[in-house]
Amino acid sequence: VTPLSDYQFADLVPYIEFARAAYCSPDIIVGWQCGDACSALPGFVPTLTGGDGNSIQFFYIGFWPDQSAVVVAHQGTNPLKLMSVLTDLSVAFMAPDPNLFPNVPNGVQVHSGFAIEHQKTARQILAEVVRLLAKHSSTHVILTGHSLGGALAELDALFMKFNLPAGTTIRGVTLGTPRVGNEAWATFFDSQVSEFTRMNNKHDPVPTVPGRLLGFRHPSGEIHIESDGRAVACPGADDGTDPQCSDQLVPNILEGNIVDHLGPYHGIFVGSIFCT
């Protein structure tokens, strides 16, 4: 593993704040008046919000002048509810929708629940991203989210890669993300999305489910937060061999601490109760 410098760790903070803001009601996101998260990102202009926090997770899209980037952020969900779903041994795989993910190789499979949730908003979000890229002459798109929102952001990253013009830079930064697909998904994702970071905090059990024994794998890009102020970059794929990374630290959910799912991520807690 490679320790992150203070600068490298601090560079991730804006993405954490965007993910935190996704838990706030669209009513206050519209005016970018969501408290600490919004105050930490002055200048960001939300242009589309959606979801009801129930059948469809909250989401928002906007333009970030500081990075000349379009940002898409997805809300997560109650971690105890999510763990119940993700530890269900009957969890089903499905092939990604070919209308959303053209030219995906045979054998690529994703978690059916995540895929169905993603389908609900994918086209609406894509249309706004395309509009904003054209309006601002931008070529940079950022996808972020925490928990279930991270899974949706991971799906979004590959979806955008397929559906935006060549030359568009796609960056995904997610927090506490569960596994989204099988090994073929992870391998193909790595080949298509080079700028992807998934942050895991201490003994959070959510990134370890659904289990590898069920055929699920993460793509590369883990950053593991070992303690407040210290994080390491975990090399390679989701192979369970790195002693400072999630698979070894949380070999099963009984050794996890669900409170770590909420943070702190560089001193920032993320979840519905932290929309202040």
How far is residue 270 from each of residues 67, 75, 105, 142, 234, measured CA to CA in Å? 23, 10, 35, 18, 22
Cβ neighbours of residue 181 closer than 8 Å, sequence gap 6 or more: 93, 108, 109, 110, 111, 189, 216, 217
- Containing 49, the helix (H) or strand (E) segment is strand 45-50
Residue type, 91: V
The per-residue pLDDT for 86 is 66
Mean pLDDT of 153-172: 97
Mean pLDDT of 17-46: 96
pLDDT tops 90 at residue 254: no
The per-residue pLDDT for 236 is 78
pLDDT tens, position by position, 46-55: 999 999 888 8
| Interaxial angle between packed helices 148-163 and 112-119, expressed in degrees from 0 to 180 and rounded to the nearest 10 | 60
At residue 144, φ and ψ (nearest 5 deg) are -150, 160
The per-residue pLDDT for 84 is 60
Cβ atoms of 171 and 196 within 8 Å: the answer is yes
The per-residue pLDDT for 44 is 98
Mean pLDDT of the chain: 93
Distance CA 11, CA 5 (A): 10
Distance CA 41, CA 60 (A): 14
The per-residue pLDDT for 101 is 97
pLDDT tens, position by position, 79-124: 767 766 665 555 789 999 999 999 899 999 999 999 999 999 999 9
Strand ranges of the sheet holding 230-233, from the earlier edge strand across to the other edge: 2-3, 230-233, 222-227, 195-201, 169-175, 140-146, 69-74, 59-64, 45-50
pLDDT tens, position by position, 119-156: 999 999 999 999 999 999 999 999 999 999 999 999 99
Q: What is the pTM of this model?
A: 0.95
Instruction: Enter the tokens of residue 29.
Output: 């996101």
Q: Which residue has the higher pLDDT, 82 or 198?
A: 198
The per-residue pLDDT for 54 is 82
Closest by CA position to 65, among listed 44, 46, 49: 44
Distance CA 117, CA 102 (A): 18
